[in-house]
Amino acid sequence: MSASILTSLPPQWLSILGVFLLPILTLLLFRGKDDNKKKGLKLPPGPRQLPLIGNLHQLGSKPYVDFWKMAKKYGPVMHLQLGRCPTVILSSTETAKELMKDRDVECCSRPLSVGPGQLSYNFLDVAFCPYSDYWREMRKLFIFELLSMRRVQAFSYAREEQMDKMIEILDGAYPNPVNLTEKVFKITDGIIGTIALGRTTYAQQEFRDDFVKVIAAAMDMLNSFHAENFIPVVGRFIDSLTGVLAKRQRTFRDLDHYLEKAIEQHLDPNRPKPETEDIVDVLIGLMKDESASFKITKDHIKALLMNITLGGIDTSSVTITWAFSELLKNPKLMKKAQEEVRRAVGPNKRRVDVKEVEKIKYINCIVKETFRKHPPGPLLVPHFSMKQCKIGGYDILPGTSIYVNVWAMGKDPTIWDNPEEFNPDRFMNSEVDFRGSHFELVPFGAGRRICPGLAMATTAVNYILSNLLYGWDYEMPKGKKFEDFPLIEEGGLTVYNKQDIMVIPKKHKWDLIDFS
């Protein structure tokens, strides 16, 4: 899961500060501001700050772009003061490696942000929980009990069921256009929702529709500006005036309601025993295990389900639609991708199986290139320094939030030739991967804080994309050209293409391909 507590500063918030708070809090924020100079520390450079808000006024709706522009002036290790929060932005492969490998021990915690804290039942989860013995136990449970490769493979039934539904829709669409962006979100939501909450629960259309709305509201809430994170003493009061506090509480109540409902349905003694356990089944089994050394409650279960659903649905669907958008805009690249998939799988199959996807090297190249140019989360979930250390030759103080701008790293011309070009072939003879060993490509992070849902997310992405390329050829609606398809970044926590993909899918005729 990728997340940020950064967004544009609401105008009404600035008005409140100017009228009521600036005279009161300036002294609080800047008390002792010269202490670091006295200690002789070499702090990272950065832009000048305003009283109270620091550099918050310099961030727009796309902070990752703002950071990228600032880094051109101040360098790959840059300091900002975001209200009361000292913050460092890293924008290079070398500094990302220092953070997540060389300084991983000192910097693998998380800041205590109010939005994630509420949704995670006071940090009972894995993604937002600060570093501790508790977090290590929860991560171990998450990796080995919930999302191991063995269990991800066992969830193939969910992928196949949802893919069959999409195949029926696309097969029957011609000659009418379909909104592929919506269809991709629906299949991704169906796969991850079924894996997490169960086939029976997620087959209830009303539950599923409502839960999708709650997930969207939760993402919107996390992307809102929470003054309580940045302003001492009165931040919560500001959030109550702007409506953010009410939104936060309402979103939590709604999410809790549906997660509770899913758990209660699984606890029903009359519920038929499933052939394959879903995530809720596994967690309930652990909750009931009296011999377990690590006890979990319903709140632990809900916190982990929040991580899986919020972290998996949006980022996976966004990655697929970016990949398809780039291919759609370049018909030669689309043709090559389709031929590579069809050659690897063979003709006349209803769908591509997961095991067959593993044989398609070019799919991996497409996905890697998509992660490079369009990382679903442009800023990794912030790290938090527990001890003083050095990164890039600069002193990083304890209590500093550290963001890695992976979006900027993907545009670095010293690492990537022609970074603005979408070119999957750059990975054909490259060992660079996104699993945390190659720091030029870390969309899921690295080190102790690498995303534990990586296997589940990439399996879904590769599977859906392979099937989309295998079964159909695509035409543009009348009057539209492939080359004119716009690529417009929009969003906050995840960055999606503002332009929905409207295409006419036409079932592929296999006699047109030479498999010799």
Annotated binding site for heme: 451
Task: Tokens 């991967």: give the residue.
Answer: 433
Kindly list the structural domains of the chain, giving each domain's residue range(s) and its CATH number in brackets, ordered by start: 11-512 (1.10.630.10)
Q: Is the pLDDT of residue 92 over 60?
A: yes
Give the pLDDT band of residue 233 (cuts 50, 70, 90): confident
Tokens at 295, concatenated: 């006890």
pLDDT beyond 70 at 19: no
pTM: 0.93
- Confirm if 85 and 427 have CB atoms less than 8 A apart: no
Q: How far apart are CA 81 and CA 232, in angstroms?
A: 13
Neighbours of 366 (CB within 10 A): 28
DSSP class per residue in 307-365: HHHHHHHHHHHHHHHHHHHHHHH-HHHHHHHHHHHHHHH-SS-SS--HHHHTT-HHHHH
pLDDT in tens, 370-395: 999 999 999 999 999 999 999 999 99
pLDDT at 36: 54
As annotated, the binding site includes: 451
Q: Is the pLDDT of residue 39 over 80?
A: no
Distance, CA of 67 to CA of 258 (rounded, Å): 37
- Alpha-carbon torsion angle 81, 85, 90, 96, nearest 10: 160
| CA-wise closest residue to 408 among 59, 54, 68, 115 | 68
* Range in 27-31, 129-133, 308-312 the model is least confident about: 27-31
In the structure, what pLDDT confidence band is assigned to residue 3 with cuts at 50, 70 and 90?
Answer: very low
Residue 297, CA distances (Å) to 114, 143, 149, 215, 267 in order: 22, 18, 25, 22, 13
- Average pLDDT of the segment spanning 303-331: 96
Report the range out of 187-196, 485-494, 505-514 with the highest average pLDDT: 187-196
DSSP for 264-298, please give it: HHHH-TTSPPPSS--HHHHHHHHHH-TT-SS---H
pLDDT at residue 7 tops 80:
no
CB atoms within 10 A of CB 254: 17
**Both tokens of residue 388?**
């003083």
Average pLDDT score over the chain: 92
Nearest to 83 by CA among 259, 261, 238: 238
Longest CA pairwise span in the chain (Å): 78
- The pLDDT tens digits for 486-499 are 999 998 889 999 99
Share of the chain above pLDDT 70, in %: 92
Q: Please give the share of the chain, as a percent, with pLDDT higher than 90.
A: 85
3-state secondary structure of 5: coil
- 420: tokens are 């603005």
- Give the model confidence (pLDDT) of 104-154 as tens digits: 999 999 999 999 999 999 999 999 999 999 999 999 999 999 988 888 889
Mean pLDDT of 218-238: 92
Per DSSP, helices labelled H in 346-437 are 354-357, 361-373, 406-409
Give the pLDDT band (50/70/90) at residue 2: very low
Per-residue model confidence as pLDDT tens digits over 162-189: 999 999 999 999 999 999 999 999 999 9
Task: Say if residues 168 and 491 touch (Cβ distance below 8 Å).
Answer: no
Which pLDDT belongs to residue 173? 96
Q: What is the pLDDT of residues 439-457, one digit of tens each?
A: 999 999 999 999 999 999 9
Task: Kindly state the helix (H) or strand (E) to which residue 181 belongs, with its residue range.
Answer: helix 180-197
307: which 2 tokens? 């991580």
Res 48 pLDDT > 90: yes
pLDDT band at 35; cut points 50, 70, 90:
low
Span 307-314, average pLDDT: 94
- Is residue 357 within 8 Å of residue 462, measured between CB atoms? yes
